[in-house]
Structure 1
């Protein structure tokens, strides 16, 4: 099985991504690192522990990471993910697992050093932990097999979800994202351009009726789906983070190209924008693989099939 570390800011779609990764039975999840993002770090930690307990995978270690961006103040999105970050779907849920003492960036470095060339790092939150790890250990980019990131917007200008040209994960810590993009690691960006084409509708949720995760998926996505309906008039919520896991499971879900990508960190109108040099105007070597198209129907079907497995 492919060895992975998941770096998360566990809101609703992070939770679904974790369950998708675990239930795929194709990934050896060495650990989950947490980062401030959708909700404060303390909530991220609890949500992650609860999801692992729900899945019966309490043996997977959880390493807490950065509780704030490198330079900016924290911003959270409770209006999308609910008061606790997962739509209060696990209120009162008992869990016995606890976070580890090791800091997230140190765990990433340690595991990559112990398994050189074997680990895929799946990052579905702000990139603060990764930036700290790359800054601390110059060899990390060589030790990691690849970094697959949910973030950014490369070709749909004006259709961001934080600023017109900016996506939330990159916006939350653009300085960190810039460090990661220029780290030399093999990097793939699964951006809003494709993730917004993967909607989980109320009908899709009911496909899981009678299965283990039906109640959690229905309850956790209620506020998320309501937000999508109000803001975008969409019947469903985008599976941003699960699609990032989906790419690791099956590259055929997405079409990709490699280009030079940089991050805007100065302009107040464009902070966090991921700028892709499609025409090679900057004369820079390509550093990021971007996603240009997605088979959304096939991916959503696989996601539902995976979460609906028996036993």
Structure 2
């Protein structure tokens, strides 16, 4: 099985991504690293451990705390979409003691990359702070890590961002870290809003899960998210941003990709956090990021639902 570390800022779609990764039974999850993002780090850690408890594997996978804030900017959270606790109160019924772990997330990434040279895939579905810190501490990560799949950015649909008109949340929350990661030499695929918004979990899809173990969680956790989406976009659905990143790590044929030079805007108030892709090669820079240009959304959604039905 493919060895992976999943880096999360556990809101609704992160929780669904964890569920999908586990239920796929195709990934050797070495650990889960937590980062400040959708909600503060402490809540991310609580949500992630509760999610593992719901699945029944909290004794098998360890959660490692990482950065509690971005490299330079003040912490930025997204309570409007994910609710005050990040998952719409869907796991409030789980009363558990949250395990303490003294290993810092960036150190865990370095340790596992060194131990499993050429084998490790990083699935990054939150701000990229933990990975940027790991790169700063150990530049040889680019030689050790096999692949990085990043949920973040918006490239071909500029003006349709979800934080600023040109910016996606994960990159906007810590663009300086994203800049470090994009220029690190790591082999990476950017799963952007351009494709994740084509994979919508609608109410009829959720109803397909009725009678299964995760029906109540999926329905309850996505409630606030779906209401927000209905109010802003007129669509009562939950975009499967983070689960699609897991899907790409499992099977890259879900998406079509092309490699271009990508950079991140870190100075402009108007476009802070924008992922800028040089489609025409005007900057004369070596391509550094595989961007997703299309997705087989029907096949992915079927695979996702089939996994949860298990």
Length-normalised TM-score, structure 2: 0.98
Whether the aligned pair in 2 keeps the contact of 1:124 and 1:150 (CA below 8 Å) is yes
- Residues 174-227 of structure 1 show CA distances to partners (whole Å, capped at 9, x for unaligned) of 000000000000011000000000000011001000101100000000000000
Whether the aligned pair in 1 keeps the contact of 2:20 and 2:243 (CA below 8 Å) is yes
- Residues 253-282 of structure 1 show CA distances to partners (whole Å, capped at 9, x for unaligned) of 100000000000001001100000111110
Structure 2 distance, partners of 1:116, 1:99, is 28
Whether the aligned pair in 2 keeps the contact of 1:119 and 1:144 (CA below 8 Å) is yes
Matching residue of 1:42: 42
Structure 1 distance, partners of 2:97, 2:215, is 23
Structure 1 distance, partners of 2:100, 2:229, is 32
Matching residue of 1:220: 221
Q: CA deviation at 1:94?
A: 2.6
Within a 5 Å distance, the mapping from 1:203-282 to structure 2 comes to: 203-282=204-283
Structure 1 distance, partners of 2:62, 2:270, is 39
Matching residue of 1:24: 24
Q: CA deviation at 1:84?
A: 0.6
Within a 5 Å distance, the mapping from 1:295-310 to structure 2 comes to: 295-309=296-310
Please give the secondary structure, in 1, of the residue aligned with 2:94.
coil
Number of corresponding residues? 309
- Residues 95-135 of structure 1 show CA distances to partners (whole Å, capped at 9, x for unaligned) of 35514210000000000000001000000000000000000
Matching residue of 1:290: 291
Structure 2 distance, partners of 1:117, 1:38, is 31
Q: CA deviation at 1:57?
A: 1.1
Structure 1 distance, partners of 2:208, 2:267, is 45
Matching residue of 2:167: 166
Whether the aligned pair in 2 keeps the contact of 1:262 and 1:274 (CA below 8 Å) is yes
Point out the more displaced range, 76-85 or 106-115: 76-85
Structure 2 distance, partners of 1:136, 1:101, is 18
Please give the secondary structure, in 2, of the residue aligned with 1:160.
coil
Please give the secondary structure, in 2, of the residue aligned with 1:130.
helix
Structure 1 distance, partners of 2:51, 2:239, is 20
Structure 1 distance, partners of 2:97, 2:131, is 28
Matching residue of 2:78: 77
Whether the aligned pair in 1 keeps the contact of 2:46 and 2:98 (CA below 8 Å) is no
- Residues 15-52 of structure 1 show CA distances to partners (whole Å, capped at 9, x for unaligned) of 00000000000000000000000000010000000011
Length-normalised TM-score, structure 1: 0.98
- Residues 121-175 of structure 1 show CA distances to partners (whole Å, capped at 9, x for unaligned) of 0000000000000000011111100111000011101000000110000000000
Q: CA deviation at 1:92?
A: 2.6
Which 5+ residue runs of structure 2 have no aligned equivalent? Answer: none
Q: CA deviation at 1:298?
A: 1.1
Structure 2 distance, partners of 1:97, 1:250, is 33
Matching residue of 2:146: 145
Structure 2 distance, partners of 1:247, 1:24, is 12
Q: Where does structure 1 differ by over 2 angstroms across 4 or more consecutive aligned residues?
A: 94-97
Whether the aligned pair in 2 keeps the contact of 1:225 and 1:237 (CA below 8 Å) is yes
Which 5+ residue runs of structure 1 have no aligned equivalent? Answer: none
Structure 1 distance, partners of 2:177, 2:210, is 40
Structure 2 distance, partners of 1:302, 1:45, is 28
Whether the aligned pair in 2 keeps the contact of 1:45 and 1:99 (CA below 8 Å) is no
Structure 2 distance, partners of 1:297, 1:117, is 32
